[in-house]
Amino acid sequence: MNTDRWAHPAEWRETQDLLPPAERDLPVDRHEFHKERLMALIHDESRTTVPGTPARPGEQRSWFRRPAVAVPLAAFALAGVVAGGVALTGQGGDSSGVATGPLLTTDIGTASVAGTGDLLDRISLAAAAQPVQQPQAGQFTYVDAVTADTFVRTKDDKSSVVSEKPHRRQVWLSPDGRKGWLTEPGDTPADGMTLDSTEQMSAAWDGLAKLPKDPDALLKKLYADSEGQGNSPDQAAFSRIGELLGDSVPPAGLEAALYKAAAKIPGVVRVDNATDAKGRQGIAVARMDKVSGQREEWIFEKNSLDFLGTRTVQVTEGQNPNAEDRLIKTGTVLYISAVTSRAVVDGIKQTPERAS
């Protein structure tokens, strides 16, 4: 479970009575790719927000781990569901060794609106100065990251909050979004799993290249695409930007435009101290979802302003929490990531270091 990187979980109510209940809640945001494949199989785009339920940087995400709306995979009872020939068994509990890390917590950094617009302007300028390689036919975009989730696990009628150890997550995606590969210990076979689909994934280069670069037009598009998702339109749009930053290789000009668009979203603040999944210290641009009480943070290196990663922190109890929500105390890190590489490579399973 995680972020309102997304803090706006969505549930597909239409399928809840069709499958047996899952033994435990699965870490939602780390399964966004699996969700995308299920979406392609069942051809159902219906989404429903469940106010007050903790969500993963993006539980506002489309095809990503987060965060534009994450689908709690426990609702699909993934044990027994087969997507594209791969059995999704919901690994990540004690048997896989993934959810064995210490509980992820942090000091809640002070948030301030002062200087946020100026910070985003400087981040935008820094992003615009970075070279961007455009993938050609037959190539793949590649995102290498370290991630970890915190979620509520229920076993033998007893619920507890557990965290994963930070682990590597590698994603390859063709420009048209119809071919891809995911490798993530605990959630895929050791060699990974295919992401091939007849439907274009929302983080594919070709689709992202069509987004407007004008900040006003881009923000309008983000609001339209995330309509009905999350606990508020502003939070849904903010989370959508966060998922693009963390889970894609943005085309030239898009990343800079995303930061300028974010500056126009009400409630966006700066947090002067934040740490990514690799322990790198940085400064954050953030927004809190008042319904869930979770704050989504985008973390940047303080000097270069390079994007480092994201995290979602439980800042307040939130509104109308249920018994499970109350187990998650303030200061709990629900999702954390560190992007280590965003690149274009010539083939699946190839990394920039291994490129010939």
Return the pLDDT at 98. Answer: 53
Neighbour-count burial of 262, counting CB atoms closer than 10 A to its CB (0-12 exposed, 13-18 middle, 19+ buried): buried
Instruction: Name every residue whose Cβ is closer than 8 Å to that of residue 117 and which is 6 or more positions away in sequence.
Output: 263
> Residue 306 is encoded by which pair of tokens?
């390079």
User: Mind listing the pLDDT tens digit for each residue in 112-166?
Assistant: 999 999 999 999 999 999 999 999 999 999 999 999 999 998 888 889 999 999 9
pLDDT at 297: 98
CA distance 300 to 159: 35
The confidence band for 82, taking pLDDT boundaries of 50, 70 and 90, is very low
- Per-residue pLDDT band for 36 (boundaries 50, 70, 90) equals very low
**For 261-315, what is each residue's pLDDT tens digit?**
999 999 999 999 999 999 999 999 999 999 999 999 999 999 999 999 999 999 9
Greatest mean pLDDT among 15-19, 191-195, 243-247, 303-307 lies in: 303-307
Q: What whole-number percentage of the chain has pLDDT above 90?
A: 60
Predicted pLDDT at 96:
42
Comparing CA positions, the residue from 326, 19, 23, 322 lying closest to residue 154 is 23
Give the mean model confidence (pLDDT) for residues 95-117: 81
Considering the entire predicted model, what is its pTM? 0.76
Q: Determine which helix (DSSP H) or strand (DSSP E) holds 299, and give its type and residue range.
A: strand 294-300
- Asked if the model's pLDDT at residue 240 lies above 60, the reply is yes
Closest CA to 343 of 145, 185, 68, 211: 145
DSSP 132-185: -PPPPTT-EEEEEEEEEEEEEEEETTEEEEEEPPPEEEEEEE-TTSS-EEEE-B
pLDDT number for residue 276: 97
Domain positions in the chain are: 10-354
Which residues is 140 bridged to in the sheet? 345
Least confident of 49-58, 205-214, 324-333: 49-58
Contact between 99 and 26 (Cβ < 8 Å)? no
Assign 301 to helix, strand or coil: coil
Contact indicator for 275, 107 with CB cutoff of 8 Å? no
User: Quick one: how far is CA 63 from the chain centroid?
Assistant: 9
What pLDDT does residue 354 have? 66
Alpha-carbon distance of 28 to 67, in angstroms, equals: 10
Residues near 156 by Cβ (< 8 Å), separated by ≥ 6?
A: none
3-state SS class at 191? coil
Which two structure tokens, joined as six digits, stand for 337?
A: 């990531």
Backbone angles phi, psi at 149, to 5 degrees: -120, 155
Which range among 42-56, 281-295, 329-343 shows the weakest confidence by mean pLDDT? Answer: 42-56
65 SS3 class: coil
Structure tokens belonging to residue 107: 């000091």
Give CA angle at 71 (196, 145), nearest 5°: 60
